[in-house]
Amino acid sequence: MFRLTRFPIAVFLLLLAMPCLATYTVDGERKTFEIYRTSSAPVIDGRLDDLVWQNATSIDDFEQTSPTDGAVPTEVTVVRVTYDDEYLYIAADMRDSDPAGIRAKQMIQGKLFFSDDRFYVMLDSFNSKRNDYFFQVNANGVRREALRENNAQFIEEWATIWIAESAVHDKGWATEIAIPFKSISFEPGSDTWGINFGRGIVRKQEHLLWSSHDRQDWPAYGGEVTGIKNIEQGLGIDVVPTVNLSQQRDLVLGERRSGLEPSLDIRYRITPSLSATFTLNTDFSTAEVDEQQVALDRFSLFFPEKRDFFLQDAGIFEFGNIDTNGRPFFSRRIGLSGNGEAVGIDAGMKLTGRIGDFNMGALAIRQEGADDVEAKDLFVARGSYNLFDESAIGFIMTHGDPTSNENNSVIGLDFLYRNSDGPFGQIFTSKIWAQQSSSSNLDGDDQAFGAQFEFPSDKILVYMGVEQIGENFNPALGFVNRSGIRSFDTGIRYRIRPEDGIWRALNSRIDFVHITDMDGDVLSQYTRIRPISFYSHTDDFIFIDWERNKEVVRNAFDLFGRLNVPAGEYNFDRLRAQISTGVQRPIRVVLSVQDGSFFGGDRLEKFVELQWRQSAHLFMGLGFTENVVDLPSGSFTSHLASLRTDVAFNSKWSWSNFFQYDNTAEAFGLNSRLRYVPEAGQEMVLVLNHGGAVDASNHFSSTQSDINLNLSYTFRY
């Protein structure tokens, strides 16, 4: 039986008793416009000369969110919207008094382009005021998409099929977008969707929105579009066959293996709001590699999911807005053994969708056996129900352990509350969650719960949270790197926005974390004071902060696998200073230095990052972190270096290289990717992964080299 402590029960009942609250509005009414069907489709080429745009609904009442919230934009933006049976069409004419100043230096599809002028569309097709689809494009026609969930989480790894083309003209730049209704889910009986539009003018660091509140652009603050009727998704079937040709070479043993592996993904929209996805003989060999991290404590590191199958509709499976520790479901646990080696997936099925106020997701995976672990059937179910105007209550269940032969399951409840007109007239958010695991090899002390409350306003941000994770809480399909704890955290940030001068914002901040064991004895305590940080109108950022740490080490551990940290109580202070220049600059620099005591000794950390955007065709980035650690058990200097180069021949062909060196792991690696994307849904990727060892004398020796050619094509019906 699922057991909850009295605290989360009391909070659940308190919040559920709250009355239904009004939606955020602008001057008493939510912004809205009506859309009209077109009989002829525009040519998507970035040139707004199609007759269809003359009769389309026009929107131009944008406002600044930065630098001055609510101010009239310095440049004019006109958006036109129409639709037909299969597509939602959006055209944006972004006038610019200095067309030569338009920034457009990203040409690789899917890559970040914060350094570029950009236009974006946020589409809440269920009008939930909680979740939406995010589509963004720059002046080169480079597309980037994401999911936004629960007015809090941005899942940028998600991808779908849509069309966009842009062009620079003598009065600014323009873009045309076509979003297929086959690419999104929606409620077929509703003709009203949530929608919002935004624009970024990088050289001015000016950001515009059509509808916003307190500088925020979450779904809760979008407007509405009415009049969408009789749209089609065809049969609602996407068939994605993939062929992978590979060669693996073990350069130490002199062995070589080659293979050809077909795989198949099928996505079927049972209804416009409910879809099923099937995967067979899934191959993840061309997924992007992780960026190396250095562990500076005794807890496991967290790496984000990057595999397409698990990213589709990933937001539906998010639980409690938990960042890392205590997650009941973390898809990176699937397809990996206990020691991090890849494990094959025979087949998988996922059912996701939203029906009315219900949100649902189910995932079933058949994972191959590996080493001593038998083949496993893994299952996750997630559901939630929308409450009030911006809130939701839900549950999650998981079953199966991908890394052992033990039985494991988890069940959990969560409640996410948001009120845009909360106490003191500010936005108020909270999250409350409770979970319990069941493991065949563990007994008792297997519950976890947490709650957090926040006023995330622009001027004053205040938060407070509590959390408890039992010693035996074990979500085998989730992520826990610290159990047997109770934690309390709180903080406040105060922001001043000067009316003139070079500074856009001045911030002061204090954060405090207190962690004990289940008996109340202190394990960790952390206080960080950032007396002031400076943020300029040119996106430059400077800050200094001071930290006081208390760590009680119950069991000795090795830092970097070399330096022993004995059991005991440690108190240490650390001071950090950092400066970073704006992302819009051709050369961006980030410099950081942190120094102070550390586990009975000293640690000096130096970090430098250099980015050079020579043009839209060439980007180079260099990162280097050095930790000089001197402890009673010895001294060690860790080096973590990376070099990234992106070459864009055009918006379809690109060549990316990522080299990493880590003397702590005594290893280096190169990931080289030649990518061809003739259009969304079609892709060829040639990937070289080359790895090796580094000895104490910094002598490099290659140990393995893999080449994979991956071809995929999406057939839509």
- DSSP summary character for residue 15: H
Residue 310, SS3? Answer: helix
Which secondary structure element, helix H or strand E, spans residue 311, and what is its range? helix 308-311
User: Token pair 């939406």 is at which residue?
Assistant: 132
Burial 629-646 (b: 16+ CB within 10 A, else e): bbbebeebebebbbebbb
Cα dihedral 556, 557, 559, 563 in deg (nearest 10): 50
Task: Give the start-end residues of each E strand in 400-502.
Answer: 408-419, 428-439, 447-456, 460-469, 485-496
| 510 secondary structure, DSSP code | E
Q: Which residues contact 114 (CB under 8 A, 6 or more apart)?
A: 202, 583
Q: Which region holds residue 68: left if phi is over 0, alpha if psi is between -120 and 50, else beta? A: beta
* Rg of the chain (C-alpha set): 26
Q: pTM for the complete prediction?
A: 0.85
Task: Report the pLDDT value the prediction gives residue 289, as an integer from 0 to 100.
Answer: 65
Q: Contact, 125 vs 187, CB < 8 A?
A: yes
Separation between Cα atoms, residue 409 and residue 609, nearest integer Å: 43
Q: What residues of the chain score a pLDDT lower than 50?
A: 1-27
What values do phi and psi take at 308, rounded to 5?
A: -60, -45
User: pLDDT per residue over 187-230, tens digit each?
Assistant: 888 899 999 999 999 999 999 999 999 999 999 999 999 999 99
* Pairing outcome for strands 223-226 and 32-34: parallel
The helix or strand, by DSSP H or E, that contains position 309, with its residue range, turns out to be helix 308-311
661-687 burial: b if 16+ Cβ within 10 Å, else e:
bbbbbebbbbbbbbbebeebbebebbb
What is the Cα–Cα distance from 119 to 46, expressed in whole angstroms?
13
Residue 255: CB partners within 8 Å, gap ≥ 6? 249
User: Which residue type, as a one-letter code, is found at position 542?
Assistant: I
Residue 22, Cβ neighbours under 10 Å: how many? 10
Q: From CA 300, how far away is CA 503, in angstroms rounded?
A: 39
Please tell me the distance from the alpha carbon of residue 314 to that of residue 622, in angstroms, as a whole number. 31
Half-sphere exposure of 85 (CA within 13 A, CB side): 5
Whole-number Å distance between alpha carbons of 495 and 457: 10
* Rounded Cα gap, residues 427 and 447, in angstroms: 31
Please tell me the predicted confidence (pLDDT) of residue 283.
66
Sign of the dihedral defined by the CA atoms of residues 695, 700, 701, 706, in that order: positive
With tokens 């899917």, the residue in question is: 110
- The CA distances from residue 499 to 285, 317, 458, 459, in Å, are 52, 43, 15, 14
Amino acid at 13: L
Q: How many CB atoms lie within 10 A of CB 174?
A: 23
Which stretches of 52-172 are DSSP H helices?
none
Both structure tokens of 185: 């889910």
Domains, the chain, ordered by start: 31-226 (2.60.40.1190)
